[in-house]
């Protein structure tokens, strides 16, 4: 018997979780459940991370969390409990599988175009770091972190998963044509790891082109790995291809803790009415059973679900409107009644259980992810982000007075577009500039030099922020301004 943590969630969460666990119990799945306190009502009790300390301890001890949809209170300055859970426990890979489900009509099912796409989304970094600042009353900044160790974790997981799945193709979705350093690093790691998996065709596609291709020919894609925000958007797009978020399972995989959840909302308008569709949570639960090695149970339940859908049985949110819909409980009962039946389309083969052992690690310190730095690093300049509403030429005159003997003013940009020494009068400005100073003759600088320039400039300006300009060997590790 494997013990897991269960959080029923908010809104329709308890109803669809009860229906799913009813199916599990009827199938005699060898699981024991410990219900933990998470969600909006826990926020309301004063826990800003949306979970009680006891819940956190239980989940960390058991290593598996099965959760319903959860709501984050609006207007209280707290962050999403869903994102907090994923990041706290470093569930770095968000796996979402999208398959044609017969009985769920879509444009593609009607055209007899089969879909079987797995999206692997980086789950920790990117703009989901949630690090934001107002730099002036007109300018907001969000920091986007892409790291080599974080990219390595999720991309290696994607390749390993693709190999086990028997996939033939793995694609990296990215925007490295614009975000050359951040997405460029993600893409670089993708091709480094691809060398270790010659049996897989590895390619890449710009994310906007990927979205267009997914809508036109989704059957051409197999496994796609993306950064966090792009993966969030693309995975919801793929949900639309197979019938919506009500048919989109989600697994958040980490080295020590994994979370299986429905990604749709809490649907408060129908909460308590026993009419919600539990399919997404059930599919997530089937993925959890497979993760735990309970292959016999997962096959029994999945085939019963596929047979039920194929038979035209449905809840009110999908299916033939000319036939009666079932409520949540009756839909679960219909699946249970179909145990042992084989669907006509895509029946799942019977597999033996795989022994599962969860070794709970009681860590005494946070793991540090760091790669070896083999190339000499040096500071070659600094970007000073300055609040000002003067014209570029006037700003440049003041900045030049502070350059001293170690720095030269290279350019000034506004919202990433160069406005000095060359530019256009037709470029609209906001009240924050980036003044780029580099060292004279490429001489290396130290942090004391940067601080000295900061102190000098602060006599004339409010410095909102600064970023060091680093290089590793001969490689410049910062972007140029548009037009520079």
Query: DSSP labels for 256-307?
Result: S-EEEEE-S---TTTTTSS----HHHHHHHHHHHHHTT-HHHHHHHHHHHHH
For the chain, domain boundaries: 1-90+264-279+311-369, 377-476
Q: What CA–CA distance (Å, rounded) separates 370 from 133?
A: 27
Q: In a 10 Å sphere around its CB, with 0-12 CB exposed, 13-18 middle and 19+ buried, how is residue 419 labelled?
A: buried
pTM, whole model, 2 decimals? 0.92
Question: In the sheet that 116-122 helps form, which strands lie side by side, from edge to edge?
Answer: 31-35, 2-7, 64-67, 258-262, 249-253, 93-99, 116-122, 223-226, 169-174, 201-206
Token pair 């109803």: residue: 15
In this prediction, the residues of the chain whose per-residue pLDDT falls under 70 are 75-77, 357-361
Residue (of 414, 435, 434) closest to 423 by Cα position: 414
- Give the pLDDT of residue 373: 77
CATH domain 377-476 topology:
Alpha-Beta Plaits (3.30.70)
For 352-368, what is each residue's pLDDT tens digit?
888 876 656 677 888 89
Please state, as a whole number, how many other Cβ atoms lie within 10 Å of the Cβ of residue 289: 25
Token pair 């980036």: residue: 434
- Give the pLDDT of residue 466: 97
Q: In a 10 Å sphere around its CB, with 0-12 CB exposed, 13-18 middle and 19+ buried, how is residue 277 labelled?
A: buried
293-327 burial: b if 16+ Cβ within 10 Å, else e? bbbbbbbbbbbbbbbbbbeebbbbebbeeeeebbb
Instruction: Report the greatest alpha carbon distance in the chain.
Output: 82
- Give the pLDDT of residue 150: 96
Q: What CA–CA distance (Å, rounded) separates 105 from 79?
A: 36
- Strand-pairing partners, residue 470, are 379
Query: DSSP labels for 304-352?
Result: HHHHHHHTT---TTSS-TTSPPP-HHHHHHHHHHTTT---SSSPPPP--
Contacts of 338 (CB under 8 A, 6+ apart): 304, 307, 308, 311
421-444 burial: b if 16+ Cβ within 10 Å, else e? eebeeeeebebbbbbbbbbeeeee
Contacts of 192 (CB under 8 A, 6+ apart): none
Please state, as a whole number, how many other Cβ atoms lie within 10 Å of the Cβ of residue 466: 18
Q: What CA–CA distance (Å, rounded) separates 315 from 319?
A: 7
Q: How far is CA 79 from CA 89, 236, 261, in A?
A: 15, 21, 18
- Give the pLDDT of residue 360: 60
Backbone angles phi, psi at 438, to 5 degrees: -120, 160
């Amino acid at each position: 018997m494997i013990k897991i943590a269960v959080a029923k969630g908010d809104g329709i969460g308890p109803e669809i979780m009860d229906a799913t666990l009813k199916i599990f119990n009827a199938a005699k799945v060898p699981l024991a459940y410990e219900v933990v306190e998470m969600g909006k009502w826990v926020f309301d009790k004063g826990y800003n991370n949306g979970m009680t300390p006891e819940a956190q301890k239980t989940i960390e001890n058991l290593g598996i969390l099965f959760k319903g949809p959860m709501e984050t209170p609006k207007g209280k300055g707290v962050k999403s409990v869903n994102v907090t859970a994923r990041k706290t426990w470093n569930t770095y890979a968000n796996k979402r599988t999208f398959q044609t489900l017969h009985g769920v009509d879509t444009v593609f099912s009607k055209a007899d175009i089969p879909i079987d796409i797995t999206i692997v989304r980086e789950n920790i970094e990117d703009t989901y770091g949630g690090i934001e600042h107002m730099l002036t009353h007109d300018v907001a900044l969000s920091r986007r972190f892409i790291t080599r160790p974080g990219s390595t974790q999720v991309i290696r997981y994607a390749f390993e998963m693709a190999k086990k799945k028997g996939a033939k193709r793995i694609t990296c979705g990215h925007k490295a044509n614009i975000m050359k350093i951040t997405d460029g690093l993600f893409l670089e790691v993708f091709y480094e790891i691809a060398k270790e998996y010659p049996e897989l065709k590895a390619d890449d596609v710009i994310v906007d082109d990927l979205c267009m291709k997914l809508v036109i020919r989704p059957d051409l894609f197999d496994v796609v790995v993306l950064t966090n925000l792009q993966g969030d958007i693309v995975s919801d797009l793929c949900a639309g291809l197979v019938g919506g978020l009500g048919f989109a399972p989600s697994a958040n995989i980490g080295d020590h803790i994994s979370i299986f959840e429905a990604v749709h909302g809490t649907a408060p308008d129908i909460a308590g009415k026993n009419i919600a569709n539990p399919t997404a949570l059930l599919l997530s639960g089937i993925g959890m059973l497979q993760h735990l090695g309970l292959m016999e149970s997962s096959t029994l339940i999945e085939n019963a679900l596929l047979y039920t859908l194929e038979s035209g049985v449905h809840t009110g949110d999908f299916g033939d409107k000319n036939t009666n819909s079932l409520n949540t409980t009756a839909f679960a009962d219909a699946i249970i009644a179909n145990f042992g039946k084989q669907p006509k389309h895509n029946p799942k083969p019977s597999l033996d259980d795989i022994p599962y052992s969860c070794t709970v690690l009681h860590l005494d310190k946070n793991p540090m992810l760091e790669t070896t730095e083999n190339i000499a690093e040096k500071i070659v300049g600094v970007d000073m982000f300055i609040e000002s509403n003067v014209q570029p030429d006037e700003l440049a005159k003041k900045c030049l007075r502070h350059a001293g003997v170690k720095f030269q003013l290279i350019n000034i940009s506004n919202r990433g577009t160069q406005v000095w020494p060359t530019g256009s009068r037709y470029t609209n400005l906001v009240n924050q500039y980036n003044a780029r100073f580099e060292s004279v003759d490429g001489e290396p600088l130290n942090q004391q030099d940067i601080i000295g320039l900061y102190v000098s400039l602060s006599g004339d300006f409010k410095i909102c922020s600064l970023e060091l300009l680093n290089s590793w060997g001969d490689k410049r590790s910062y972007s140029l301004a548009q037009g520079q």
